Amino acid sequence: MEGLLDWVLRDILTRVADPARSGESVRSGGVDRCVSEFIRVSGTLLPNRAFIRVMPELLNAGRTLSGVPVAAQLLGSDPNCLAENAARVAALKPAGIDLNFGCPAKIVNRHGGGAMLLEDPALIAKIISAVRRAVPAEMPVTAKMRLGFNDDSRAEECAQAMADSGASEIVVHGRTKAHGYRPPAYWERIADVRAAVNVPVVANGEIWTVADALRCREISGCNDIMLGRGIVANPGLGWAVRAATHSSSACRVASLPSAQVAWPDLLPLIAEFWKLVSARVIRKHRAGRLKQWLNMLRRRFPEAELAYAALRTINDSDAIDAWLRRELASSVVNTLSLAAA
């Protein structure tokens, strides 16, 4: 998710602790593994610094600071160039190599990458075969796809090309490129894709709530799901889905407060997010990054609505620093007051 779920948010979201328990051992955001934003490969062998810039987790044994494994996602259309770059990044020890066949961006598709490749299953097979040969046998090579480009008529054919050429897992976003991000996601078509291949399929698309996650699993038949914008908007979603999935009464557990992350617990992570952004992003772009996340958080938290309104016209980093200090101090005071009561 270029421009949104980058390494900073991966770091922060995988620090979210299980609301039902305490301790560092349960700080993973309820997430089993992550995938980097795509690393664009176009006619050249990238230097190590290019991979590390997008995926700094390569300097931490391919894991976020909380220990969640991260796979490196490559995007391109030339099998040999992708294979060479896959071999280079594989030497840096990511958790796996993921290949992007789903990006709907016009500039990517215009150059034959992303979802455009779903028009050419034979080229998909060449890409995956080349990458599979180029990296160590023990390193997973996986693929992310949409249902198609203009329509979903070749979804099964594309997935079969991926599985037959060496992909060990396929994530399917339940929309075509033409659908963009417009609801709904067609989870029933993911079920068709799953039935057509002999490798695990992960369902993705339009999962915003626990109820969405449970319905997606039921309709798609997939045991595993991938969260994108949903976990950005609700950082407790991973833990809430886990609680519901492992309960004999999923709906009841998912509705409990303990299955959700509260704003006072999230606020320090927002402050840490701002700290990381301030250290890595040029001054004039910092405020936009924070507002982008707050804008997503408004879907779940009334407090985020207030925060967004307070900061909407502020771009000065020092003013945002001061605002965060006040909010953190106020949150501590309110917590102490509740404890005393």
The residues annotated with a catalytic role in the active site are: 103
Tokens (6 digits) for 37:
């934003």
Tokens (6 digits) for 59:
């300097």
**Within a 10 A sphere around the Cβ of 57, how many other Cβ atoms?**
27
Check: CB of residue 39 under 8 Å from CB of residue 86. no
- 116, 201, 113, 111: which is closest to 156 by C-alpha? 201
Burial class (CB in 10 A: 0-12, 13-18, 19+), 152: buried
E strands in 179-221: 201-204
Check: CB of residue 208 under 8 Å from CB of residue 299. yes
Spatial distance between the Cα atoms of 326 and 103, rounded to a whole number of angstroms: 40
* Three-state DSSP class for residue 173: strand
Q: Is the bond leading into 264 cis (omega within 30 degrees of zero)?
A: no
* Three-state DSSP class for residue 30: coil
Q: Which amino acid, residue 275?
A: K
Check: CB of residue 19 under 8 Å from CB of residue 273. no
Q: Which amino acid, residue 106?
A: K
**Within a 10 A sphere around the Cβ of 3, how many other Cβ atoms?**
9
Query: What DSSP string runs through 93-116?
Result: --S-EEEEE----HHHHHTT-GGG
